[in-house]
Structure 1
C-alpha cells in the first residue's frame, strides 16, 4: 500500500490542485483552441477527461433487451443453441441450462429461436422517469442505456439495423426514453455497444442437433427473408440479426464492420450522448469512432470536448486517450488517469438465481474505487416488462438514505496522496471477487474536497479508531486539523493526535450496518 515519495508528492499536488473542481465549471478545452481529432493515438492523446465524469463517481447501467425474457441471465441467446452433446467444455454448463429450458418452455431452436423471443420483449410496464428518479436519489450522476448487446438487436430507432426496438418487440425507442428521463434530472447519459461480437456470438444458431429425433435439422439461424412468409418476421431478414453464414472462427467481413460502425455513428449523431462504452477495445481496432465522437462533442459544447469513451485493455500510456474500464474488477492503487469499474448488483441480465450484492458490499466497493481516482458503474437488471426486482428497489432506497448523509464524501471528490490504509486491498484487475472482500475495522479509504479529508470506515470499530496516516506534525494541505465529525451524527467527537496517528473516540450506539464516514476539516 506504500507509494514512492516522488509519486506521493505528485499525487498530493494533483489532489490539492483539483480538490475544488467539483464545485466549479472548469472543463477541458475551456479557453483553448478547438482540437481536430484524427484516428491516431498521437491525436487522441490530446484528450482530457471532463470534470463532469470525475465529479460524478457513480453511474447506473441497464442491461436490458430480448434476453431478459427467459430470466436466465447473460448470453442466453448464445447458449440456447448449445445442446448437451456439444464439446465446448467451458461453455457446456450454460449451454445445458439454456438449451434445456428453451426446449421445455419455447420449443426446438429450429422452430423457435432467439428471434422469436423478440415479440415477448414488450416493456409494457417500463417507466423510465420513475426508475431514473430512484437512480438519481441513490447517488447516480450518469446513466447508461444498452444500445445493443451481442444479440445484435438495436434498442433505438436504428437507421442501419431493421431488427430494433422501434420496429418490433416494445415498439418504443428505448434509448430515447432513457435519455429524456436522465436529462430531466440533469444526469449525463451514455449508451453501450456490444454488437461487434455478434458475428461469432450467433455462430451456434446455424448448427443442428447431433443426435435425437431432430438430428441434422438446421436451427433457425439458417433462415432467410424468403422463409418468412406468413410468420411474424415477414419482411425482415433473420440474417440481419444472426449475421450472414460464414465459417466458424472466420473474422468479421468488411460489410459487417461497416454496418456496425454506421450504427454507432447513427446513434452518436442523432442522440448526442455524453458517454459511450465498448465491450472490449475499440471495435476492430478502428480509432475513427473516437475521433468522430470527440469532434462531435466539441461541436455540441462550444468547442469543449465533454465526451467520455469507456474501453478495456491497452497499455497505461494509451489510457490517457479514453477512460479505461475494468469489468468486474478494480485497481490496487491510485491511477494517474480517471478510470471506471463496471459490475452488477444482480447479474448482467436478469436471472432468477443471480447472486445479489449487499448494499454494504457496494458501498465498500464504491469507496475503494473513488479513493483510487475511479468511478463505479453499476448494472441494475430489468424484467422484460421493464420493472426491476424488489431487492433492487430496496437496495436503491438504502443507497439513497446513505447518500443523503454521506454523499459529500463521494461526489465531486478527488484522491488524497494515498488511497487508504489497513490490511485489505484488491488484487489489481481481480474479477468477480471484489464485492466479497472481507474488510476489517482497520481498513479506511480517503477522499478529499476543498478543506476536508474524508476517512471512510470500511467496517465500524468498537469505540475508537486510529488513523495512522495522520500522525502529529504531518500538516495537511489545509493546515492543521480543526474539527472531526461523523457524518450523520450530531454528537461532538473527542480526538487527539500523537506519533501513532489521529485517534477519534466514536459514538457508543452507531448504525454500523453500512459504512460510516469521518469528516476531517481545516480552515
Structure 2
C-alpha cells in the first residue's frame, strides 16, 4: 500500500464534490455479515480452512527462509508515460503532475483516458529469459511477477477480465512468460496482486474538472461501458486514510476472489503478495487457505507456499499465518518470524526523473534485513518496452560479483543473538528507508557453527567487533579462525577485552561491503 503525500492532493477535490458518504455507509452496513463467511464449497478441501485459528498453524517454508533475496517486476502499462507510480490514478487529479503531463502529452482525460494508454504498452523488447539469467546471477533466489496492479489490468490470460495482457497491449501472457523463465533458472516464482485496493483507488476516474473549459465534463472512467476497467464504485472514494484502502462492498470482495483465485490456480505460485493487509475478512482468508491447500496437495502434504501482506491500514494481518511485508522500510531488531522488505531501485514504475539506489545502498539494505530474519524483495525498474534502464543494468552488473563472493554470508543463513552493532541507527517502519552506513556498522548472520560479520562499508586497517570481546555475554568460546570471504590468504586477528580486532588485508576482494567468516574453538 502506498499512502504518500501525493494523495493529499486528491482529498480536496473529493471533499469539494461531497462524494462518498451515502454509498460508503451503505456498503459498511451490507458487509457486516461477510467476515463470518465459511470457506467456499467450490474450493478443494485440505488442512487449512478460512478461520484464523486454522491459518495460524502455518509455518513459513525453509526455501523462503533460505532465499533471502528476491527480484520483482513491478511493471505494466503505467510505465508507458515514464512518470512513475500511480499514474493511472493521478492523471485524473487536477493539480497533480501526472494530470498536467497527461493533458499536455495525450489529451484531456475526458477524451483520452487510461484505457487509451494500454495499447501503447507493447513490451516489444521484453526478454524474460535474458533478464532472469541476470537476476539469478545477481543472487535472486525467487522472482515475483506483477499479476495485477491497482489499474485493474491483468498481466495473465485472465478468465474473468477482458482487460488483460494477452488481448491488449503486448498481447502476451506476461505472468506465464516470467514463470517459465524463473523455473528454467531454478528460481521460486511468485505473483503480486494489488487488485483489492483498486475498487476505491480508481475513484478519481469517475470525476470531472471543476474549472473551465472542461467544467463538469466527466472523465472517461464515468462511462458505464468501461466499468469493467474503472469499476462502478463512484460512491466509495479512497481518501488519505488507511481505513479507505479496501472497499466494504461485498460484491467486489467476490469479484476479487474470482480473479485472484484464477491467478493462483493457473500459475500455482510459490508466493502470493497482497499490497495491503489481508483483504476482505473471511473471503481473503479463504483464498490464503486455498493457496496453502493447493501447495500441500502438490507436495504430498508439505506447504511450500508463502503469503505475504502488510500489517498496516485496513485488512487483516496474522503474524503466524503469513509473512509480514514492510514497504520501503525495515523492522526493528531480530523478528521472531520471517518477514520481507519490498522496495525498488527507483520509482515503482519507470520515471525519467526519479533517483536510483546505488549498489552500495542495496547491499547494505540486504545485509541489514537478513541479519534481522528478513528477506529483501527488490523491484528492478524496467523501461516501458521491457528492457532495463542504465541504472538497473549497472545495479545487476555490480551485484553479481559481490554476491558470488559474499553470498555464503547471505543465502541459507539465520540471525545470530544480536543483529549487529555500529554508530548508525536505522529507522524502523514503512517508508523510512535510511542508513548512511560506514565500515564500523556490522551485521551478523550464522550458518551452522560459523558466524558471519558483514561490514556495511569498505573496511581499512582493522575491524573491531565489540560483541566478540573476551568474556562477552553472547559467545563463550574463543575465536579460532577468521576468513575474509573472497580473500585467499590468511587473516590475522586478536581477541581483547574490548573487541575482536581483525587485520584487514590491503586489497579487498569486493567493493561496498566485506564479509568475515568467524569460527570458534
- TM-score of the two chains, using structure 1 as the length reference: 0.85
Give me the whole-angstrom Cα distance separating, in 2, the residues matched to 1:458 and 1:245. 48
What is the number of equivalent residue pairs in this alignment?
Answer: 465
> Cα 1:475–1:245, aligned 2, differ >3 Å: closer, same or farther?
closer
Give the unaligned 5+ runs of structure 1.
1-33, 85-94, 226-237
Give me the whole-angstrom Cα distance separating, in 2, the residues matched to 1:430 and 1:46. 27
CA contact (8 A) 1:297 1:304 kept: yes
Give me the whole-angstrom Cα distance separating, in 2, the residues matched to 1:347 and 1:296. 34
Give me the whole-angstrom Cα distance separating, in 1, the residues matched to 2:249 and 2:358. 44
From 425, 436, 439, the counterpart of 1:438? 436
The CA deviation at 1:248 is: 3.9
CA contact (8 A) 2:326 2:342 kept: yes
The CA deviation at 1:223 is: 2.0
Give me the whole-angstrom Cα distance separating, in 2, the residues matched to 1:105 and 1:304. 52
Which residues of 2 match residues 27-176 of structure 1 at below 5 A? 36-84=47-95, 95=96, 97-176=97-176
Match of 1:354 in 2: 354
Are 1:284 and 2:295 matched, yes or no? no
Are 1:275 and 2:263 matched, yes or no? no
Deviations 1:413-452 (A, max 9, x none): 0001110111223222152432xx2223321100011221
Give me the whole-angstrom Cα distance separating, in 2, the residues matched to 1:198 and 1:320. 27
Give me the whole-angstrom Cα distance separating, in 2, the residues matched to 1:106 and 1:430. 34
What CA RMSD, in Å, does the superposition of the two structures yield over aligned residues?
A: 2.0
CA contact (8 A) 1:409 1:447 kept: yes
Are 1:380 and 2:380 matched, yes or no? yes
SS state of the match for residue 210, structure 1?
Answer: coil
Which residues of 2 match residues 190-339 of structure 1 at below 5 A? 190-225=190-225, 238-249=226-237, 251-285=247-281, 286-313=284-311, 318-339=318-339
Give me the whole-angstrom Cα distance separating, in 1, the residues matched to 2:370 and 2:424. 16
CA contact (8 A) 2:467 2:474 kept: no
CA contact (8 A) 2:139 2:399 kept: yes
Give me the whole-angstrom Cα distance separating, in 2, the residues matched to 1:440 and 1:385. 38
Match of 2:446 in 1: 448
The CA deviation at 1:35 is: 6.4
> Cα 1:479–1:56, aligned 2, differ >3 Å: closer, same or farther?
same
Deviations 1:330-363 (A, max 9, x none): 0120000000000110111110011201101111
Deviations 1:385-433 (A, max 9, x none): 1111111011101000101110100000000111011122322215243
Match of 1:504 in 2: 502
The CA deviation at 1:252 is: 4.4
Give me the whole-angstrom Cα distance separating, in 2, the residues matched to 1:362 and 1:253. 40
SS state of the match for residue 377, structure 2?
Answer: strand
SS state of the match for residue 491, structure 1?
Answer: coil
Give the unaligned 5+ runs of structure 2.
1-44, 239-246
SS state of the match for residue 502, structure 2?
Answer: strand
The CA deviation at 1:520 is: 0.9
Give me the whole-angstrom Cα distance separating, in 1, the residues matched to 2:332 and 2:316. 14
